[in-house]
Amino acid sequence: MTENQMTPTVKVSQDSFDSRRIAHCTLCIEIDDSRFRFCFVEEEIKQCVWLEDYAFDTFLNAREYLETLKSLVSEHPFLSSDQWKDIRVSVNTHEFTLIPVPLFRKEYAADYLQLATGWPVQPESRVHYQLLPAIQANSVFSVPNAWSDWLMNQYPLQNIEFFHLTSPLIVGALVSHTEYGADRLLTIHLEQNYFTMVVTVQQQLLFCNRFPYQTSSELTYLILFSLNQLQVSSDDIKVKLYGEITQYSELYTELAKFLPELSFGKNPTPLHYIENFEDIPEHRYFGLLNTFLLA
């Protein structure tokens, strides 16, 4: 492990934060197979007081990646504490689906995933499900055993809730309706080679899916095709961008040609932020920050 691997790409922190405040904070974590992000939210005042983002070498195998995460947590001044008020983990995996409450049976959770993906859940993963009251559906998703076992062992005395990353994106989109004054809202969350698309109409979820893509034209086609299938005009919907994208990127330039109501989203307004948050783009950590709102 190199020193560079343990250096955050982004860090925002409150200098006065100390271990005595951990018991008043929720630890929110976002994890995928090459990124690890976390933030601390002081619950009583709903203020995000700490955020770190790590991007790791994509050539690390699963074991090396996990060992890197273990080292990161053990060496961090606060992460290894067992005093957190609550812990919420958003996992960014490819296998997920949404099942309406009246149709959901927990004993069929693995079958729902197989129907959605076309292949059975692999032995190295575990099926999780979480109720999303805002849409009256259960999110069903897979989590690698290595991740969940590590976190459960790291925090054995604490309550840990696992969610799929689409859950905070959906909740964030629904909360955004009033703020943006939109009857129709398209929320696009970008990451490298994948994006999540959430369409909400009058504060109701209409569509949510995650797509792979290779080029900006492919990304644009998938969005326009999906809107057409939903019978939603691209001229008649507000579009908010989040995640790994800048206004100078080819992706943004291409999307702006076809989505006239396109703009960057902002940090979730139900939360408050320390002054140092002004130094990072507001649209970047929408999924991580909205994980706090999944209580």
**Are 49 and 122 members of one domain?**
yes
Instruction: Report pLDDT digits (tens) over 71-130.
Output: 999 999 999 999 999 999 999 999 999 999 999 999 999 999 999 999 999 999 999 999
* Mean pLDDT score, 51-66: 90
Which token pair is 92?
Answer: 């960014």
Number of structural domains the chain divides into: 2
Instruction: Say yes or no: 99 and 232 in one domain.
Output: no
Question: Within this chain, do residues 83 and 210 fall inside the same structural domain, yes or no?
Answer: no
Beta strands 137-144 and 125-132 are antiparallel
**Largest interatomic CA distance in the chain:** 53
Task: Identify whether residues 169 and 197 lie together within a single domain.
Answer: no
Confidence of residue 1 (pLDDT cuts 50, 70, 90): very low
Q: Which amino acid is at 206?
A: L
Sheet of 96-100: strand order equals 96-100, 137-144, 125-132
On whether both 146 and 235 belong to a single domain, the answer is: no
Alpha-carbon dihedral 187, 189, 190, 193, rounded to 10 degrees: -100
State pLDDT tens for residues 96-108. 999 999 999 999 9
**Residues 259 and 271 placed together within one structural domain of the fold:** no
CA torsion through residues 170, 143, 153, 66, sign: negative
Given a cut of 80, whether residue 230 has pLDDT beyond it is yes
CATH number at residue 92: 3.30.420.250
**CATH number, domain at 192?**
3.30.420.260
Q: Kindly tell me if the per-residue pLDDT of 2 is higher than 70.
A: no
Q: What is the mean pLDDT of the chain?
A: 94
Domain extent for 159: 1-179+266-295
Average pLDDT over residues 237-249: 95
Q: Are residues 160 and 229 in the same domain?
A: no
pLDDT at 180: 85
5 and 122 fall within a common domain: yes
The H or E element containing residue 54 is strand 47-55
Residue 182's pLDDT band (cuts 50, 70, 90): confident
On whether both 123 and 203 belong to a single domain, the answer is: no
Same domain, 127 and 19: yes
CA distances from 5 to 2, 28, 63, 145 (A): 5, 21, 15, 23
Q: Mark whether 238 and 293 lie in a shared domain.
A: no
**Do 50 and 81 belong to one domain?**
yes
Tokens 């099926």 belong to residue: 127
